[in-house]
């Protein structure tokens, strides 16, 4: 009787299992690509928020107004047209009420005279005061070298705009505050929505992040607010012991 020689081969069940596994992998590929793209969106958004925060931090290091930028004299408290009357000059001291005579925070410069706060914000190239950043727009790109939509990596390209607005805001503390039925509840409206065209003692710095991308992770407007006050500056003095 002739013996049959057994050959090793792939069983049908193994072949079917392999096809199923390959199908699952191929079906998951688009989802994995989508998840990777979304992770890139979130990372870029976080970096954009960090960039906007850095922008505000840099702006707040600048002088309050163009009238404070002359380093040949101490930067005074500037006169305003629509500020809270409680913050006006206390005549004849040249200081605000309650400010000690030893303080250098005065409405008068060290060489005499006083200055008014700027009535309009004209951006200058030196960026030495807060007003110079009004209307400043910066665009963040994921791939700065790409110039057309056909460039490689375009599926994750996103332009995020950083728009900066500087404006005066109302400094009257009684504005926007009200008691409810004479009770203890105190309501204070968002001060950053109380913008005024006239000069006041507080400037609002608004940094807005926007994008035209329609992805859910990016299609949103993020706003960071900060403020700076008209308080003049101090002067260091040498003391001998």
Q: Is the pLDDT of residue 62 over 80?
A: yes
Q: What is the pLDDT of residues 168-181, one digit of tens each?
A: 998 876 655 555 55
Whether 203 contacts 82, CB under 8 Å: no
pLDDT at 151 over 60: no
CA distances in angstroms from 98 to 89, 94, 116, 230, listed in the order given? 11, 11, 22, 16
Least confident of 44-53, 98-107, 148-157, 194-203: 148-157
pLDDT value for 235: 67
Residues contacting residue 71 through CB under 8 Å, at least 6 positions apart: none
Q: Which residue has the higher pLDDT, 93 or 42?
A: 93
Report the C-alpha gap between 37 and 32 in whole angstroms: 9
Mean pLDDT value across residues 211-216: 78
pLDDT in tens, 116-138: 999 888 777 888 999 999 999 88
- What pLDDT was estimated at residue 78? 93
pLDDT top residue among 44 and 179:
44
**pLDDT band at residue 154 under the 50/70/90 scheme:** very low
63 vs 75: CA distance, rounded Å: 9
The per-residue pLDDT of the chain, averaged, comes to 78
Question: 0.75 cut: is pTM over it?
Answer: no
């Amino acid at each position: 009787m002739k013996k049959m020689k057994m050959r090793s081969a792939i069983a049908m069940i193994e072949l079917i299992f392999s096809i199923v596994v390959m199908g699952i992998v191929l079906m998951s590929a688009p989802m994995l690509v989508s998840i990777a793209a979304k992770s890139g969106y979130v990372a870029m958004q976080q970096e954009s928020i960090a960039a906007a925060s850095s922008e505000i931090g840099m702006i707040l290091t600048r002088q309050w107004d163009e009238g404070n930028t002359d380093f040949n004299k101490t930067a005074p408290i500037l006169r305003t047209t629509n500020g809270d009357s409680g913050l006006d000059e206390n005549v004849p001291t040249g200081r605000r009420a309650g400010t000690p005579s030893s303080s250098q925070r005065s409405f008068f410069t060290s060489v005499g005279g006083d200055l008014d706060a700027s009535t309009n914000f004209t951006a200058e190239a030196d960026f030495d005061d807060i007003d110079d950043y009004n209307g400043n727009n910066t665009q963040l790109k994921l791939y700065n070298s790409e110039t057309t939509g056909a460039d490689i990596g375009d599926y994750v390209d996103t332009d995020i705009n950083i728009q900066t607005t500087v404006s005066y805001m109302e400094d009257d503390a009684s504005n926007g505050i009200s008691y409810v039925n004479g009770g203890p509840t105190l309501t204070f409206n968002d001060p950053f929505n109380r913008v005024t065209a006239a000069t006041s003692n507080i400037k609002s710095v608004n940094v807005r992040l926007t994008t035209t991308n329609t992805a859910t992770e990016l299609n949103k407007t993020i706003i960071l607010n900060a403020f700076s006050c008209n308080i003049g500056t101090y002067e260091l003095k040498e003391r001998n012991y």
